[in-house]
Structure 1
């Protein structure tokens, strides 16, 4: 069989809280990313577009634009939980989850449908293979024409789509950061054994969302299953030129760009089975949360001999494409710039991050892998996309409570 020649595209977008306060605003923000990628879509070969981590998380703000004036994500989430109490409280009590997880689960059916249908429509319209980034997602099973949600579960999940809009597969993030655990957005960790590799015309795709790409057991698992192109959607919730949030030695913290060399770049520099990696990163201040980074596409050093690297690190081969940071210079100066860009800094440069699109043309031998059978969850998502099943219907707990109260008062009379 002939080798696979294809193009990969990494989109580095800039998000704002207002992009998520309505379905129309979210669709427009997602479409803008595909429009930015459009000039780089190859007319003569398949194209894979990779979007960023947690680009569906802020959908919890949908319908809550009135709360953005509270300025912090924690305050806004608290206000939305209270304002949606008829929906959030039953989930909290019935499924024994935290308020922040209950807030997300209460509207997860509508937000999951919006997210998936938006991505499906974009994959079809632009004719691309699409890694949708990731979003907080329940696990579903199909029951007739209705999807049933696994109680209490909410993972950080990537969905992969073909150019005709069909589902290729889904993957959950295994290793969560402290901001994703209890006390943060409170997500459910995925299971390492559930990660699979998806053979496609744009590579044998393995997904390692953000922190997963730093973990040797995740990389070894995907490598052993034949991964040739690693997808690392990312949302780094800190100033890029500060110190890493997860130092291996708290007494000797490293610069974030230095730590990032242990993910995609290190994976492809080893020259094992995983030949290429695509690592898009979102930028922008979301209320009081800061997101920044440098997106990259990496490959074998002999295919990218030009020395270059993230700011604050020494140039090296292996970067097929690399987003610039806001500026270059000595580390103390860049740390100061990072603080100026950060949320609520009050500096004129606040939120002035770089947006860009990267692309690279890649070639791989024909795949020898066979697609694995879809999981129950993937079959449920495909049924949702096909219109053969609908999300779980919202139970009118408030109305049922009023009926029960009226009945009790009537009996008392």
Structure 2
């Protein structure tokens, strides 16, 4: 069964040789079963060892040796090869040579790094004269540029020359490095260990980033991605600069549309959502995690690092229909007192009924294509009666032994895993299953077979039922609109919302009487702008788009959301053009596009120390003179749900308040807010839904809370799926006075399904959930649900559906 389905998915496993190292014989490598499609991806997990960074030769010999032994014999001859290294592969290069000798015998990473400052005085003085305001850690990193970049960059070029593969690897380096033959720069920067130095590498940018570099098969750097979310140690101890969020776009690496999310970036909803919306089909997450089986903090003795890792790329593959695969290479080894540990992994779409152990100390789960071994097998593999608690206790004890002072210090696994990935292959063709809670779904007619995604629905005010969505391939999508005049029984032929050759994504839609508004993001070489078009004939035709303002020279606007009340239209969106993502609100008289824009909060950026205090994923609702805007917010180094309310038609807003109940556990992750004024009753009450990951659990839940006046209710989990199941994207609609419906994406069956629950008490409680889609029990996936209701009991739900082999929009209408 597994082999058959993996063949359909275009995946081959590699698990060969000692410690799963490919190589050694023809039988140990993947066979070529994919024809001309896809790419072979090698995931390298090197171990940090002081012997590897004594010299340029030892640094290169280690990494090139891994490739020559375990990659070169397994290279595909009929498709591109991609080699992926973990985060900070170039970190140890700064300790090379005689100038690093003193640092190499240090007992701690930070003292070792600071020791380099006294050994690189000449190059540090060179850069200090150019950029005297640079902080000490930056001065040291700039001073290391020639040595560290020479080792890192030229080793990568040697590997590409050996293999002809694409290569992804990361290090901490200036934002721009150039090779120079200038005698003065050679004299100032050349390594004294080298003779007759003909060139040096010179930093031309005073900012230093944690950056991933992509090398093409010709050995040249094709592009790079700078990490926008450095961890606190990177910000404080190394003074690294956050990368620009606008670089979070997919890149073509052979046939793969790759989104690079370096370590912490993979947990950040703005990074993940941007890349998924732009059509990334493979996420690559270079990782350097610490203490794989050990708690990061004594305050959280039971936190389990593999569970935390499961919230990143693995969750993105499950949540986003566009993302077919995730690749996570791990660095291992003790760098002085810093323990790097983990298991590299390749994941893909979950096949219902199939589960494998992913990481040690976890129960089996779906979607695991290949995972690297840890230093010992999970105790549960040999003892089925072992409890999760006892298994983790055993693994923790071994983790302690691997630390610098342990009896097995630095005996982490160095390995290589690989898989053949082809995101262009169709999804499995699946027949429809039993009808869902609202009956059998339908597909839109007359739209060919191009990918469709991001449905948005609107229905109200005596107007038509309107469905907007995006269609097309990555970088060439357009927003289409279809309308229904029979309460969703049928939809007319979809037609473009706006003309033009630029890419259009992530539509929002509003129906208010005969007026239909469609907002979307338009992408061009000049940036990303939110546009809005208006129809005055119930969605049959649309006028020219109006572009919403963006503060920066290069616009970077995202995720429009629409609402209307009392003859006014409200458009919320994210403006990231200043480098900091802020939610703004635009207002216009109904029937016009005469928008006036104001920020929800008065400042562009909250005060430090968190310079990445971004806002994301706005939702907006309106009732009479009341307007509410909700979003997720990173101001406290956690993604929390905030709400701001206006009582004067959006002219002014009160101070935003946090409304989720995720407690104060670290690294809270909330996303996908949905917002609704509860119909009926006395005091104006707002219902909010969101996706919730708390206490560093591996799964997400869909939750709903009520806010009445200044009273914030407790979040309640939607659905009764098992604890290990995840639920995303709750969407709330009003069915009538005091009556609500919640719709969400749920993976309790191992696949991706859409569920429904209703409330008859204004959202205070919800009845038993019902499965809404009719996608069956096989590997067909229903993602990204949207919902709308007419306020008198009827509703319609649309979603992305893969049963035809491609993501296509399906919908169902009825009364729950």
TM-score, structure 2 length as denominator? 0.42
Hey, what does 2:58 align to over in structure 1?
25
The alignment status of 1:189 with 2:242, answered yes or no, reads: yes
- Describe how 1:2-401 pairs up with structure 2 within 5 A: 4-35=37-68, 36-63=70-97, 64-89=100-125, 91-92=127-128, 94-131=131-168, 133-140=169-176, 149-183=203-237, 185-236=238-289, 238-244=290-296, 254-302=303-351, 305-327=354-376, 328-329=378-379, 330-345=391-406, 347=407, 349-365=408-424, 368-369=473-474
Q: Please tell me whether the aligned partners of residues 5 and 46 of structure 1 are also in contact (alpha carbons under 8 angstroms).
A: yes
2: CA distance, partners of 1:160 / 1:92: 30
Q: Distance in 1 between matches of 2:409 and 2:364?
A: 28
Partner-residue secondary structure (3-state), 1:134:
strand
- Give SS of 1:39's match: helix
2:334 is paired with a residue whose SS is: strand
Q: Distance in 1 between matches of 2:179 and 2:397?
A: 55
Higher relative contact order (CA 8 A, sep 6+): 1
Output the CA distance in 2 between the equivalents of 1:302 and 1:268: 12
- CA displacement at 1:142 relative to structure 2: 7.2
Residue 97 of structure 1: how far off its partner (Å): 2.9
251-260 vs 188-197, greater mean Cα deviation: 251-260
1:233 Cα deviation (Å)?
Answer: 0.8
Q: Which moved more, 1:168-177 or 1:112-121?
A: 112-121
- Residue in structure 2 matched with residue 384 of structure 1 by the alignment: none
Per the alignment, in what secondary structure is the counterpart of residue 258 of structure 2?
strand
Q: After TM superposition, give the deviation of residue 314 of structure 1 in Å.
A: 1.4
Q: 2: distance between equivalents of 1:340 and 1:141? A: 40
Query: CA separation in 1, counterparts of 2:421 and 2:86?
Result: 21
Task: Measure, in 1, the Cα distance between the counterparts of 2:399 and 2:241.
Answer: 31
Q: The residue matched to 2:294 in structure 1 has which SS?
A: coil
Conserved 8 A contact 2:127-2:142? yes
The CA deviation string for residues 240-264 of structure 1, in whole angstroms up to 9 with x for no partner, is 001246x9xx668621111110012
User: Shift in Å at residue 121 of structure 1?
Assistant: 2.4
Larger mean CA deviation between 99-108 and 111-120 belongs to: 111-120
Paired with 1:205 and 1:159, the residues of 2 have a C-alpha distance of 12
Provide closer, same or farther for how the CA distance between residues 90 and 125 of structure 1 changes in structure 2, counting only shifts above 3 A. Answer: closer
Measure, in 2, the Cα distance between the counterparts of 1:180 and 1:304: 41
> Distance in 1 between the 2:293 and 2:77 partners?
37
Identify if the C-alpha distance between structure 1 residues 82 and 39 changes in structure 2 by more than 3 Å, giving closer, same or farther: same
**Greater strand proportion:** 2
Report the Cα distance in structure 1 between the residues aligned to 2:252 and 2:207, rounded to whole angstroms. 28
2 CA distance for matches of 1:325 and 1:5?
Answer: 28
| 8 Å contact kept, 1:304–1:319 | no
In structure 1, distance between residues paired with 2:393 and 2:150: 45
Distance 1:107 1:122 in 2: 22
Is contact 2:166–2:253 with CA below 8 Å preserved after alignment?
no
Deviations 1:136-157 (A, max 9, x none): 1212287998887454300001
Q: CA deviation at 1:282?
A: 1.1
Show structure 1 runs of 4+ deviating over 6 A.
Answer: 141-148, 370-373
8 Å CA contact 1:88, 1:99 repeated in 2:
no
SS in 2 for 1:320: strand
In structure 2, do the counterparts of structure 1 residues 205 and 32 end up closer, same or farther at CA, with 3 Å as the change threshold?
A: same
Contact 1:204 1:226 in 2 (8 A): yes
| CA displacement, residues 191-240 of structure 1 (integer Å, 9 cap, x when unaligned) | 1112221123240111101111111111111112221111111111x210
Report the counterpart of residue 410 of structure 1 in structure 2.
Answer: none
Paired residues in the alignment total 364
Bigger helix fraction: 1
Aligned residues of 1:304 and 1:320 also touching (Cα < 8 A): no
User: Whose radius of gyration is greater, 1 or 2?
Assistant: 2
Pick closer, same or farther for the CA change 1:336–1:90 going to 2, 3 Å: same
Mark the CA change 1:351 to 1:145 in structure 2 (over 3 Å): closer, same or farther: closer
Q: 1:304 to 1:74 in 2, by over 3 A?
A: farther
Distance change >3 Å, CA 144–CA 283, structure 1 → 2: closer
State the shift of 1:98 in Å: 3.1
SS of 2:236's equivalent in the other structure is: coil
Q: Give the deviation of 1:88 after TM superposition.
A: 2.5
C-alpha contact 2:216 2:222 (8 A) present in aligned 1: yes
* CA drift at 1:304: 9.8
Kindly state the Cα deviation for residue 308 of structure 1 after the two structures are TM-superposed: 1.6
Is the CA contact 1:3–1:365 (under 8 Å) kept in the aligned structure 2?
A: no
* Structure 1 residue 352, shift from structure 2 partner: 1.1
Question: Which structure 2 segments of 5+ residues have no match?
Answer: 1-34, 183-200, 380-390, 426-471, 477-523, 526-816
CA offset digits 1:306-353 (Å, max 9, x no partner) = 3222111111011100112112221111111101101223x1x11111
CA distance in structure 2 between the aligned counterparts of 1:19 and 1:6, rounded to whole angstroms: 30
Partner of 1:199: helix, strand, or coil?
strand
CA shift, 1:303, in A, is: 9.2
**Contact map agreement 1:124 1:164 (CA 8 A) in 2:** yes
User: Contact 2:96–2:147 (CA<8 Å) still a contact in 1?
Assistant: no
Contact 1:281–1:294 (8 Å) recurs in 2:
yes
User: Given that residues 295 and 301 in structure 2 are in contact (C-alpha distance below 8 angstroms), is that contact kept between their aligned partners in structure 1?
Assistant: no
Task: Evaluate the alpha carbon distance shift between residue 173 and residue 45 of structure 1 in structure 2; reply closer, same or farther with a 3 A threshold.
Answer: same
* Aligned-pair CA distance for 1:50: 0.5
Cα pair distance change 1:149/1:187, threshold 3 Å: same
